[in-house]
Amino acid sequence: MKLITGQRILSTVSNIGPGLSRSPLKSFRFIYDSFDQLFGSGSRSDVTTEDRSIDVGARELGIRIYRPSKAKPKLTMIYFHGGGYVIGGFKSHHGFCSLLASEANINLIAVDYRLAPESPFPGPLQDGLDAWNWVIDHATELGIAQTQIGMGGDSAGGNLTAVLSMQTFGDLLDGDLKVAPAFQFLLYPWVDMSGESDSIRRFAKGLILTEETMTFFRDSYLPKEMEPQAIKTSPILCEDMSATPNTLMVTAEYDVLRDEGLAFVDKLQQAQVSVSHLHLPDCTHGFISTGKFSPATRKRLKQVAAMFDTYATNL
């Protein structure tokens, strides 16, 4: 099966010239944010949004709360966006977050965590932990106390999710999870910080996410002196996965992170973790921002959202 046409076109556009990762960082971030605005799913009329600034001690973090207006959700998900820990934020993922809240009938709380290189490893992980604990402390105020509360993310956000939910961060962070997540949602996650899987080389060029861009992200996020600790926290290296929460996992065929994602699913299943796995044979990394002009991509996005409905129905 071939890559969906709309995704193939955006992959080609992304690789015009020297490559986005060679652009000034400010420009790279602006272009990445623009993908969702130009090609993404857009805001849903049946979803309300609320922006807040939350106090997590020495700093404040932004969160955006998405609520479906015509449903009473059983699930709430704290969401960490992708972008290699270097790019991305509310603008880059607004369409996808709005779509999930609408199509999956869930509350979604997106977190605007700090980015590298300004805040390298483990800064974003600390923000994720602090945001999670803040939401748990304020669940009644937010009106989500009666829902199952989990966490999720795509790409680097999937890494952040898995490191926190599987608690592989050891003593690197200040504090612990106040409550374990009821579930985790991992969308083509970055689960192996060593960067040695075969798919990284097989899909190295020509797609939205390339090996060169992955190297740029990794070098920006991981200071050399912290690299051993970062690799050690890789979720795929977790020796005891038995305490991993119920997992909703999505992998894409045309993806540098494909092999580590598939290997991670195997390890979770071997550990008898409850895993719902959707492999998309015609999608690439970053497809969540390409649905506007692609009916085939919109169909895949609906399949992703349907995973939550199925999960909630089986509760």
User: Hey, which residues are catalytic here?
Assistant: 155, 255, 285
What SS3 state is found at 71? coil
User: Alpha-carbon distance 137 to 133, whole Å?
Assistant: 6
Are the C-beta atoms of 96 and 56 separated by less than 8 Å? no
Structure-block tokens of residue 186? 């991992």
Are the C-beta atoms of 223 and 162 separated by less than 8 Å? no
Q: In terms of residues, how long is the chain?
A: 315
Burial label, 41 (beta-carbon count in 10 A; 0-12, 13-18, 19+): buried
- Beta carbons within 8 Å of 38's beta carbon, 6+ residues apart: 292
On the CB side of 233, CA atoms within 13 Å amount to 23
User: Alpha-carbon distance 133 to 174, whole Å?
Assistant: 12
Sheet holding 275-284, edge to edge: 47-55, 60-68, 107-112, 75-80, 148-154, 183-187, 246-254, 275-284
Phi and psi of 60, rounded to 5°?
Answer: -120, 150
User: Alpha-carbon distance 183 to 261, whole Å?
Assistant: 17
Structure-block tokens of residue 63? 């969160």
Structure-block tokens of residue 162? 């898995």
